[in-house]
Chains A and B, each alone.
Chain A
Amino acid sequence: MSTIFALSSGALPSAIAIVRLSGPKSGEVLRVMSRRRNGVLDPRKMFYTRLHDHDETLIDTAMAVYLPGPSTFTGEDTAELFVHGSRAVVNTLARSLSQFDGVRHAKRGEFSKRAFYNGKMDLAAARGLRDLIHAETDRQRRVAQKQMDAGPAVRQLREDLVEAVGRATLLIDFGEHVDCTLDEVKVQSLAILEKLRKMVSSSRSAEIVHRGLRIVLVGRPNTGKSSLMNRLVQRDVAIVSETAGTTRDSIEVRLVLNGIPTTLTDTAGLRETDCTVEREGVARAKKRIEEADIALAIFDARRPEELAEIIAEIESVDKTLCIVPVANKCDLLEGKTPSSSAQTVQNVPVPTSAITTDGIDALRAKLERVVEDLCPDESSPSLTEFELLSEALTEVEQSMETVDAALCAHHLQNALNIVGELSGATVTEAILDRLFAQFCIGK
């Protein structure tokens, strides 16, 4: 069995970087690097040492500790090296570690996987750990908890699917002896389809909470999108100038809305252009719109006719996207109220001025309401596994479309496998591999 290592502390550069080793060679590696070749390492006692490369050059001075198994996180012999948090030091150290026979860089989640296989952690703990690592805000932590509560609903769905697969199988293997048709199987699958659809839509909001919300700012050049973004996050991130088309690339800032980590993306406007660089910016803007959960449609309060065009452009990319119209530069209206041909009762543009900061609080409040609609903080449990649930939904839909009984059973079985994985009813090596692959490297 190989010995693995990885940077276990956060992103570099940092004050201190912790490199962790796990596996049978941990002790030997530490002895060689700290030039205690024949010496004894005092278990669980941190010591100050120089770390040397194979050709005797000094890598760094460090604190180090040797932790013999099985009372460690992985259950294996472990060593931890506390070095200075520079990229150069960590890279040199990694290179040097890789040169030892049987020592290699850890894969994603490999430490946790070893802990799991060595009986240090059960499957529920592993899932919990994954969510805990990824949780940034308190609300995310709560969703993670609720996800665990979604168990009964998923288990019921799984049982329904087991029955559906059973019926399809019965039809194939005993069609001669039972009065049952494929259409009857499909009719009974309708209820499953409905349940899955509901789960998929509620998982979408849970997933947003889990991965964070994405808001994109869209509007004609020089309508003050960058300034507005600066106001929303209350610091200067975007370059602001009087020239239209200043923002060519997409710029991102992060803030927290309703306990959800939110990314604001400022984009170049979606306008026809001959400039290659700017055209690339437009392409990127489209991609941002595709990925977004909410779009702020920003127009110059003096040119309300722009709004309808912007909305049309957004809808050309994503029809279902939630759009919040914003009438910016209200300070230049000189007392008139902004109006727009495209406005409806539900969708009154929020009047703002990025210069005087008027209306910024109102916009923030409006955004919080929209977010609340999008991801209700309700108590109903829902899964964050939007992708997997959508896949299951597609499989059930396909099972309804085919006239081939074997294909029908195949699609239902695929859906069952996915739901089985979600509910923890199916455990295979591959499922465990997928679970641990969601961990970061070093955990």
Chain B
Amino acid sequence: MRLRGIFSTTQRFSSARHITNVIVVGGGHAGCEAAAAAARCGVSTVLLTHKIDSIGEMSCNPSFGGIGKGHLIREVDALDGVCGRICDQSAITYQALNRGSGPAVIGLRAQIDRQLYKRNMQKEILDETPNLRVIEGAVEDLSYTERNGVVVANGVILSTGEKLAADAIVITTGTFLGGEIFLGTKRWPAGRIGDKSSIGLPKTFKKLGLQLGRLRTGTPPRLIMSTIDFSQFQRMPPDEEPIPFSFLTEQPAISTEKQLPTYLGYTNERVGEIVRRHLDRNEHVKSETTGPRYCPSLESKVIRFPNLQHRLFLEHEGLHSNLIYPQGMSMTCEESAQLDIMRSIPGLEKVEIAQPGYGVQYDFVNPKQLRPTLELKSVNGLFLAGQINGTTGYEEAASQGILAGINAAARAKGIDGLTIKRTQGYLGVLIDDLTSLGTNEPYRMFTSRAECRLYLRPDNADIRLTEAGHKLGAISAKRWGHYTDLKNSLSEATNQLQMTTMSLSKWASLIPRLEESVKIRGKVLSAYEMIHRHSVTFKELVTALASFANLSNKKKLEERIRIEGSYATQRERMQNKLLEIERESATMIPDDVNYERMLGMSDECAEKLDRMRPGTLAAATRIPGITPEAITVLLRYLKKETPLSTV
């Protein structure tokens, strides 16, 4: 057993000794966030991994963020998580998506150097996080007590037979739970290529009566950079003004000039042909397991859209890496076919594959068995986070990890945990979707899943969440200081700007540029309104009025105030809608409800509801094919309070 950490000493544990408050199993994106969060909350924490060297491994794409996903990173960062900061230390290309679509749906995104990310994350976890120790070992089983029907988890049992006890346990084993790799006609048990999967834990989960399902995902082949003719691709340069992930980052570690471009290309008919020819020699595709609809493999794209030219992006795996990641080319056919496919794309005629693409199938725990704190309903003290809950993506994993870590610490302290509402964050949407409706495909975040898209923006994630995290002790002193300073200057500036009001003709006399655009000259507007209605800048205000001198060179503040102002009207109008969403999310449907016996419920809807078993009324309305009549019947059932006759 290897042990490292700030307090690391070489020590042996007698069996079943209580060594720590919280144990986090797994060192991926969910595990790192969970362990760091629990430790930040001030409880002694152990991160248990089968291999210390793979802590912070980016198993699939060499990038973080994207639409909806960038929002999640900002929310993790608002809760003082680690991934946003580590990304900013390791990013080699910032390319935000949706820049033209408005600040509510901008997709913060960057290519990340795998090696740098891993190194920086390991430094953070192993050396720079107080209260956190890292232990190497494979978990085979859980230890728990059962009294009066209440099951309480109290430790883990390693493959060596050793038992480590704790108050709360977070499992973040990703695709390692019963994981099996598919490559062409071959298949073998593994969670990631070259890593053994976990066989014992699925058995334990079954013993605990948990419902498991199976999902699949895949990864593309890795190409050797020196064998590619990039001139055949469209060069996509890094953003001139990179937007960092973390609220704490002033400047990314690698400057724009040193960043690398990405390259855009397209598939063609020949690619489709080869894919089709090899379909019958592709075990992964033939199996029934549900794959990710929105990050589909090349095979499923070819099957569903045979005549389309699909986009593919060539992405550098690192600043000094000789590997290229072909995004959009996830495939599981045999190696020789993969080479044929890649070589039929212009510019890749001579390409060599360093590691073939492959598919993974793995067990996941039906997330409807979780509370909104990510603790299992049926096992106190046992938390699950990441792919094990049926999600896909680093960001989805990290955000669950931070919530589970904070709540495991709360469990250890014996205080109430943190729950995040749908109206409060994408993280709230994610958790509510998973726990109220479950999932039957790998769940990924989209902005369309959030009803309050205009409010849940990357720019205000700290205002939405940092205080909630602070109440649970999850925010470090440094972050808290940064946040309170920002909040104060934001509210002071907003106040100052709102108090300064004058007619448009007066504004036009102060800012000559406005002369032409201003029409209704008698209208009185505040400086706050001028910023988002007439694109007035801080600089113009400072020049126009001496009283605004304090606002010079406050670029970040200006940006935030402009964005906030531009959505303010819609937000006020949405308040009622928000209450409605919260009320319907709070209307619970009992677990034992019998849909078939509900008066007036159609057979079809009863069957769908019975299969999905939504946890709340709001979740029921999100099930495709559920008719308004069915919702009415359900509403009626839920609202009927007491028996009718009392005489």
Contacts and interface: CB of A to CB of B under 8 A. Distances in A.
Given A172-B101, A407-B102, A407-B570, A75 B628 contact: no
B98 A117 contact: no
Contacts of A175: 67, 97-98, 101
B646 A116 contact: no
Interface string B607-647: 00000000001000100000011011001100111101111
- Chain A interface main SS type: loop
Contacts of B446: 169, 173
A426 interface: yes
A25 to B, nearest CB: 8
Interface stretch (B207-215, B447-455, B460-468): B447-455
A75 B644 contact: yes
Interface stretch (A218-226, A307-315, A427-435): A427-435
Contacts of A119: 599-600, 636
A344 B636 CA distance: 60
Contacts of A123: 628-629, 632
A410 B102 CA distance: 12
Contact of B104 (A116, A406, A424): A406
Contacts of A75: 644
B206 interface: no
B523 interface: no
Given A424-B628, A428-B580, A404 B102 contact: yes
B635 A427 contact: yes
Given A427-B635, A429-B635, A430-B580, A69 B600 contact: no
Nearest to A166: B448
A410 B453 contact: yes
Contacts of A27: 646-647
Given A122-B600, A428-B580, A172 B67 contact: yes
Nearest to B644: A69
Contacts of B599: 119
A70 interface: yes
A230 B134 CA distance: 95
Contact of A24 (B68, B454, B646): B646
A175 B101 CA distance: 9
B97 A122 contact: no
Interface string A165-196: 00001011111110000100000000000000
B101 A406 contact: yes
B311 interface: yes
A1 B102 CA distance: 48
B584 interface: yes
Interface in A1-51: 1, 24-25, 27, 41
Contacts of B454: 406-407, 410
Nearest to B313: A176
Contacts of A176: 67, 97, 311
Contact of A70 (B100, B635, B636, B645): B645
A425 B104 contact: no
B105 A405 contact: yes
Most buried by B among A123, A169, A177, A428: A428
Interface string B417-459: 0000000000000000000000000000011100001100000
Interface string A56-79: 000000000000111000011100
Interface in A406-431: 406-407, 409-410, 424-430
Given A24-B642, A77-B646, A406 B105 contact: yes
Contacts of A430: 576, 580
Contact of A117 (B104, B583, B636): B636
A76 B642 CA distance: 10
A422 B289 CA distance: 40
Interface in B85-105: 97-98, 100-105
B104 A432 contact: no
Interface string A117-130: 11100110000000
Most buried by B among A174, A177, A407, A432: A407
B447 A426 contact: no
A299 B617 CA distance: 62
A164 to B, nearest CB: 13
Nearest to A410: B454
A69 B645 contact: yes
Interface residues of A, number: 41
A177 B66 CA distance: 12
B578 to A, nearest CB: 12
Interface string B478-500: 00000000000000000000000
B570 A116 contact: no
Contacts of A77: 644-647
A122 B632 contact: yes
B229 to A, nearest CB: 24
B583 A429 contact: yes
B98 A427 contact: no
A428 B104 contact: no
Contact of A427 (B101, B580, B587, B632): B632
Contacts of A174: 67, 294
A177 B311 CA distance: 7
A1 B646 CA distance: 12
Contacts of A171: 101
B448 A169 contact: yes
A121 B621 CA distance: 22
A182 B101 contact: yes
Most buried by A among B102, B617, B640: B102
B383 to A, nearest CB: 29
Most buried by A among B67, B101, B567, B629: B101
Contacts of B97: 175-176
A410 B98 CA distance: 16
Interface in B44-65: none
Contacts of A410: 453-454, 570
A118 B640 contact: yes
Contacts of B105: 172, 405-406
A172 B98 contact: yes
A409 B599 CA distance: 37
Contacts of B100: 182, 405
Given A176-B97, A406-B101, A410-B570, A425 B628 contact: yes
B408 to A, nearest CB: 32
A168 to B, nearest CB: 9
Interface in A284-335: none
Contacts of B629: 122-123
Interface in B561-618: 566-567, 570, 576, 580, 583-584, 587, 599-600, 617
B183 to A, nearest CB: 26
A428 B647 CA distance: 33
B270 to A, nearest CB: 21
B598 to A, nearest CB: 10
Nearest to A178: B311
Interface in A144-178: 169, 171-177
Contacts of B576: 430
Contacts of A68: 645, 647
Nearest to B598: A119
A173 B447 contact: yes
Nearest to A423: B628
Contacts of B103: 404
Contacts of B587: 429
A315 to B, nearest CB: 22
B311 to A, nearest CB: 6
Contact of B102 (A117, A406, A427, A428): A406
16 contacts: A1-B641, A24-B646, A41-B647, A68-B647, A77-B647, A117-B639, A119-B636, A122-B632, A171-B101, A175-B101, A405-B101, A406-B102, A407-B104, A407-B454, A427-B631, A428-B584
Top 9 A-B residue pairs of the complex, sorted by shortest distance between their CB atoms: A404-B102, A405-B101, A406-B104, A69-B644, A427-B628, A24-B646, A169-B448, A406-B105, A173-B446
Given A27-B647, A182-B100, A428-B580, 10 more contacts: A24-B642, A118-B644, A119-B636, A169-B446, A171-B101, A176-B97, A404-B103, A405-B102, A407-B567, A409-B448
